Amino acid sequence: MKSFTTFIAASLALSVSAWTQTVSHGEALPLSAKSTEVRQLLNQAWILDSDQVEQAQAIEVMRKVVRLDPTFAMGHEILAQISLDPAEQVSEQKQALANRGYANASEQIVIDWFQNAADHKLIPAITNMNDALHQYPRDRWLVFLANSWLMAQTQYERAATVYEHSGITDSPGLINNAAYTYANMRQFSKAYALMDKYVALMPQDPNPQDSYAEILRMAGHYTIAIDHYKVALTINPQFYSSQFGIADTYLLMGDETRARQEYDAAFKKFPSLPELDCIRWKTRQATTYVYEKDFPGADKAFQSLADYAHAKHLSQVEADAYRQMAMYQSDNHQAMALLTKAESALRDGANVSVINAHQETAQILRTRVQVAIRAGNSLAADTAAAKLAELSLNSDDKVIDSAFNGAVGAHLFYEHKYKQAIPHLEEDDNSPLSLKLLAAAYQTTGYFAGAKRTQETLANFNDPSVEQALVVPALRKCLANPTCNVGMKDAALQIKH
């Protein structure tokens, strides 16, 4: 398991490369903590959150830090970034900003970085991040936060650059994060080498085994992944990520009944999960029904998730539950009604930052375009695409840009404008929906090598999401069927079973 933080933007290519060309020789970011006890607790939180990924324990330590030193702005900032409770993320970011005047100049840059990001002012946020990294390129907290932040925005190459130019090679937590970075770039040999090093550094801790399992699962090595999850649970039976990881793996293997059994057992064993972890695995449990095409079952599970989020005043989570429901509806009117519910939930704005609200809006608009296309309603598709274009133009946000390109590419594809669709679909290469259309567009325009490569990539996707459920299982069945689309057959050998 890797730690999760927040987000960054698309225009990073020049700014990160500029930082790496002028790396200074600073070491540790100076902190304005008032006592030795607080500094010791910060070190404890680092080990728990980054190295061991005992996030719930790390969060409790940081809560103690801000109780002991309530004007320690960086303490509030770190808690905002590692918290697994959306309400706490929002409230602690506000506390970091409110106490900014007590922080030193370097800490203020970091607080401005994350405040600008939360406000969706991403160009200033990028500048702040680069300023902090320029001063302290080898500070472990800064490198960790920057790497995680970039990965959340799918800026994997930039995240790798931050890690590589830090020169830090002996930090278990940074090694773990870097392994995920390379795995998301599908550079699995680099990821495995780092995982071997992580396991060797911490042989008695469960997270190295858990992370190794997840990366193996991303590569399609399901059985070996389950073995590693079981090793992690042998080391620590209370390491709940591994218990749920087994369920996630069965989901991707296509054994949805077994996956639900594993989810039920895990929720029973661990009834008090951190909020975002609970939501993550409730979502994946609901997704098992989409894999089975049991859409009434999926509706019931996703509605339960939406109701849970509403009761907890988690607007983005509620909105996203309705958006995911809309994606698999066969009735287009029902799909549009669900998207209207998603927009209404998001407008409530409870416990959601500006950036998260904008990114969720983009995903809802993208889904509106897809449903409108499916319904043959070009006017509705054009209207949603125009709103998405405006949001993309004003954001400099990779997540929003990807949603825009995926929507426009789909619209052009279904207008049979395949050559025009291709560059847009290529900009959304982490979406199974766009990769499916991209492979077909390549095939139709005669670029058979590109079609084969894209089909191979898609066939080897292993993300426990609704998007994957709607695309990848059908492709794999086609590749295994001698009577299916001949143009796909060469990719079949690349599927991991």
Task: Answer whether residue 281 is part of any domain.
Answer: no
Whether residue 285 is contained in a domain is answered as no
In a domain, 18, yes or no: yes
Q: Domain ends where: 202, 236, 256? A: 202
Question: Would you say residue 218 lies in a domain?
Answer: yes
Residues 184 and 133 in one domain: yes
CA distance 399 to 459: 23
Task: Summarize pLDDT for 28-43 with one digit per residue, the tens.
Answer: 899 999 899 999 999 9
Residues 175, 214 share a domain:
no
Tell me the average pLDDT across 72-77: 96
Average pLDDT of the segment spanning 343-348: 94
pLDDT digits (tens, 9 = 90+) for 191-212: 999 999 999 999 999 999 999 9
Give the separation between CA 360 and CA 342, rounded to whole angstroms. Answer: 9
Quick check: 18 pLDDT over 60? no
Give the separation between CA 450 and CA 489, rounded to whole angstroms: 14
Q: What is the CATH number of the domain that holds 248?
A: 1.25.40.10
Which conformational region is residue 133 in: left (phi greater than 0), alpha (psi within -120 to 50 degrees), or beta? Answer: alpha
Find the mean pLDDT for residues 267-294. Answer: 96
Mean pLDDT of 341-363: 92
High-pLDDT (> 70) share of the chain, %: 92
Instruction: Read off the pLDDT band of 479 (50, 70, 90).
Output: confident
Q: In the predicted model, is pLDDT for residue 410 greater than 50?
A: yes
pLDDT band at 348 (very low <50, low <70, confident <90, very high): confident
Closest listed residue to residue 154, CA positions, set 346, 427, 378, 399: 399
428 shares its domain with 396: no
Last residue of a domain, one of 415, 448, 474: 415
Domain finish residue from 180, 202, 224: 202
The CATH number covering residue 89 comes to 1.25.40
User: To 10 degrees, what angle do helices 206-218 and 172-184 make?
Assistant: 10
Q: Is residue 357 part of a domain?
A: yes
For residue range 299-345, what is the model confidence (pLDDT) as tens digits?
Answer: 999 999 999 999 999 999 999 999 999 999 999 999 999 999 999 99
Integer CA distances (angstroms), 286 to 228, 276, 303, in order: 25, 15, 9
Please state, as a whole number, how many other Cβ atoms lie within 10 Å of the Cβ of residue 307.
12
Distance CA 485, CA 497 (A): 20
Decide if pLDDT at 496 tops 50.
no
Residue type, 190: K
Please give the structure tokens belonging to residue 60.
Answer: 């409790």
Of 73, 71, 70, 59, the closest CA to residue 108 belongs to: 73
Say if residue 489's pLDDT is above 50.
no
Backbone angles phi, psi at 218, to 5 degrees: -60, -35
Please state, in angstroms and rounded to a whole number, the distance separating the CA atoms of residues 353 and 71. 22
Question: Do 171 and 234 fall within a single domain?
Answer: no
Indicate whether 28 and 114 sit together in one domain. yes
pLDDT at 2: 63
Q: Which tokens hold the place of 265?
A: 């057992």
* pLDDT higher than threshold 50 for residue 253: yes
C-beta separation of 282 from 294 below 8 A: no
Euclidean distance between CA atoms 435 and 431, whole angstroms: 6
Kindly indicate the confidence band of residue 20, based on its pLDDT and cuts at 50, 70 and 90. Answer: very low
Does residue 171 share a domain with residue 80?
yes
Q: Which two tokens stand for residue 132?
A: 């902090």
Which amino acid does the sequence have at 108?
Answer: Q
Instruction: State the Cα–Cα distance between residues 497 and 490, nearest whole angstrom.
Output: 16
Within a domain: 307: yes
What number of residues does the chain have? 497
pLDDT of residue 3: 56
Distance CA 482, CA 256 (A): 25
CB contact set of 449 (below 8 Å; sequence gap of 6+): none
Q: Are residues 161 and 24 in the same domain?
A: yes
Label residue 154 by pLDDT band (50, 70, 90). Answer: confident
Q: What is the pLDDT of residue 19?
A: 37
Range scoring the smallest mean pLDDT among 18-22, 127-131, 191-195: 18-22
Q: Are residues 126 and 33 in the same domain?
A: yes
pTM to 2 decimals? Answer: 0.85
Where residue 480 falls among pLDDT bands split at 50, 70, 90?
confident
Residue 41 confidence (pLDDT): 96
| Sign of CA pseudo-dihedral 31, 4, 246, 191 | negative
In which domain, by residue range, is 479 found? 417-497
| Phi, psi angle pair for 259, to nearest 5° | -60, -45
Mean pLDDT score, 401-410: 96
Task: State the pLDDT at residue 28.
Answer: 87
Q: What is the mean pLDDT of the chain?
A: 90
pLDDT for 83: 94
Q: What is the DSSP string of 446-467?
A: T-HHHHHHHHHHHHT----SHH
Task: Please check the confidence at residue 266 and state whether its pLDDT lies above 50.
Answer: yes
Distance CA 134, CA 8 (A): 17
Residue type at 110 in one-letter notation: V
- Does residue 1 fall inside a structural domain? no
Asked if the structure places residue 22 within a domain, the reply is yes
- Segment 453-479 shows an average pLDDT of 93
| Helices and strands: H and E segment counts in the chain | 26, 0
State mean pLDDT over 89-97: 96
- Whether 266 and 379 map to the same domain: the answer is no
How remote is the C-alpha of 119 from its chain's centroid? 19
CB 180, CB 211: distance < 8 Å: yes
Cβ atoms < 10 Å from Cβ of 38: 18
* Residue 93 and residue 135 in one domain: yes
pLDDT in tens, 206-244: 999 999 999 999 999 999 999 999 999 999 999 999 999
Give how many domains the chain has, as a whole number: 4
pLDDT at 6 > cutoff 60: no
Question: By three-state DSSP, how is residue 330 classified?
Answer: coil
Report pLDDT for 15. Answer: 36
Are residues 408 and 422 located together in one domain of the fold? no
Same-domain status, 256 and 245: yes
The DSSP letter of residue 30 is P
The predicted model gives 97-119 an average pLDDT of 96
